[in-house]
Amino acid sequence: MQNDLICAGFGGQGVLLIGKILAYAGMHEGKEVVWFPSYGPEMRGGTANCSVVISDRAVGSPIIAQPRGLIAMNLPSLDKFEPTVKPGGLIIVNTSLINRSVQRTDVEVLEIPCNAMAMEAGSARAANMVALGAYVGMTAAVQLKEAEELVRETFAQKPKLVDVNLRALHAGHDFAGAHRADQAPTPEVRS
């Protein structure tokens, strides 16, 4: 099984960080991984994205022309990458900063207010962790406990940020779980 995605947003939103956390979590689980960042010289405020591949077998290329997933943290990222997602793929949309719906009907969409949920968790800067939790909850690409451990490692030098980011991660994961439950088919009742 292979999970591949593009995480995209403004520089400073932490899209490269969540891609790296996903890659390391996959590596900790013994999977083959690739993390391929892409950003311009403008960095903070400009666009940034990364490709992540997590697979049970060797990864042929770090370049993903048609990802199975997209985390779009801002409107320019959705505009740019929405057309590239494979039919049947997943698009996670940060509705706190994106004011339009996904135009395609051949993909699964999770609309989630990442920034608002991050504020509820304790910091607007944790919006990326909400998106990460949502992706893990929607795909099970990696186990939640691996992502939690990497959040602890990442913020170990700033202990105050560990709890905030874990709350944001769990909020996104729970939101995705509720969405999946709402989308589950109702079992037929036979008499």
The predicted model gives 121-150 an average pLDDT of 96
The predicted model gives 144-153 an average pLDDT of 96
The yes-or-no verdict on residue 185 having pLDDT over 80 is: no
Tell me, what's the pLDDT at 151?
96
CA distance 191 to 41: 65
The yes-or-no verdict on residue 91 having pLDDT over 60 is: yes
CA distance 131 to 93: 9
Tell me, what's the pLDDT at 30?
95
Tell me, what's the pLDDT at 39?
72
Kindly report the number of other CB atoms within 10 A of residue 106's CB atom: 9
Tell me, what's the pLDDT at 179?
87
Lowest mean pLDDT among 12-21, 43-52, 142-151: 43-52
Per-residue pLDDT band at 147 (split at 50, 70, 90) = very high
Output 47 or 184, whichever has higher pLDDT: 47
| Annotation: CATH topology of 2-183 | Pyruvate-ferredoxin Oxidoreductase; domain 3 (3.40.920)
Tell me, what's the pLDDT at 121?
96
Q: Find, among 181, 96, 86, 82, the residue nearest to 130 by Cα.
A: 96
**Pairs from 35-41 (Cβ < 8 Å, separation ≥ 24):** 35/62, 36/62, 36/63, 39/11
The predicted model gives 137-147 an average pLDDT of 96
The yes-or-no verdict on residue 159 having pLDDT over 80 is: yes
Q: Enumerate the domain spans of the chain.
A: 2-183
